[in-house]
Structure 1
């Protein structure tokens, strides 16, 4: 007698080949179109599914977890970050949580360097000028940016992505500095030519470019608050490809507008801060719609990890990418 297939609800449309493979293995329910689920739809999905596959736009808080049905035993997140999921409450309810680590490392590091170059070399301004009808040709003093070789890059969060950024920065001739919850091993520091700072305040006050690569946790919420932002040099640049909540976004917008910081490149935002419009109005800011992991290869690999986590769970084993409270 065939084993009953797991009921899997996917909250957002995934790459076609990932959806096709899921349909072969599980009883999959996909949204009719590519949009975020409403709160009510999430509640219904958690009441009926054996496995939920959410993404970073789905807030799975303790109130939502409390409404989960008795069959929900795995939340297989499509993404590495799990700050939108109350992992502790899930664990209390006997619901496992998994994620998709590692596969976005190189793509996100690439985007970090792209933003550093875009801001320091004023690439969006140049693009806009070339596309305008009133471009008058080359000029020796037009759109002068800054050379990144020799500049100090501060990396806040030296995990997989932070280290990948450091390797790229070395190739561009930047001096790498970092702060991390735990200092790297001496051999890793040496390989990355990276200088460790125990004090965030001291590091941010000395770097020319600051890259945010730490996860969003209660301890990193507004890690770059208004006081710490004030410590930075007026000619410094901030790039964030991690989570918007790590920065006090309204304070950042005010300082950028006042010329107290030279520029910012942001791929992530604090959607509760209501400051995106203020940032959008500034010429010294480059904004991207969370494209850091947006490669065809990366999205497919994320889906493959989700499938492996669900399949392993279905076979009665612990998912290889299970997340526990306090891991980040």
Structure 2
């Protein structure tokens, strides 16, 4: 008995593959992305519980990410909870969850009786756990169900690895869809809070006086930008470093997270560093422009963004890139990063 074999056209196969996400989070497992990955899964868990109306009405919980190298030290604390993500009805208030992987698949829970000083009790236990682990800086989230808020204390800082950076998230917020106008506004807001000045969230300068940016500045900006988007559009609305036939795009906002006439959307991030010549900067951004157009064709994108973060001493948009972007239908956003708080004022006076 003969059996027919369906042969797929290679172009069709590549197109299908380019739309298949490589994992269920915008962030990869391990390395510097682990903190964002953990936070993304945690936020997604709360959003799904909100959707089925099982979020606690009151109380406080702590969620602590335990890196693999420290897991043995907490194996006797509390009781085991497998796959927290699958359990949408578990009581959360008055508990500390020790999350042994960033996707919430393996956890241990320490429970406390309800009391008027619940936060103090949980915080005291958290400090004990930190001492047990040798004062290792732990990524942790404090969730206050009374006001529907989650405080994430990130430890990702190349300037000061011992510091924490708090991000406050409204877990009661409904997921949105972005238009180009909303995305552009979001991008400028991100710049104001994360990259514009030395004291902003990302602490982008390694040596301010020498106009030296931190290592991997481009990757750090793209990761934090993606993370901030996930808080609004949801974990499944955004992909980072997604593959396509032309390579990997920095960031994709999927169709369901954009208004129909503007999605999907592809974004390419570029950083200009002090010391690079004008010709080198033009070449670098021209390559970025080609990349975002190619990546957009892989995804049948309706919106294309070239995101440029300028850390040079002499700041300003590149006329050639602005003209090329206009001709190609690409939104070119140019963000000036100042190495001193007074730098912005001086730049404005010169203009």
Higher share of residues assigned strand: 2
Say yes or no: TM over 0.5: no
Which structure has more RCO (C-alpha within 8 Å, separation ≥ 6)? 1
For normalisation by structure 1, the TM-score amounts to 0.24
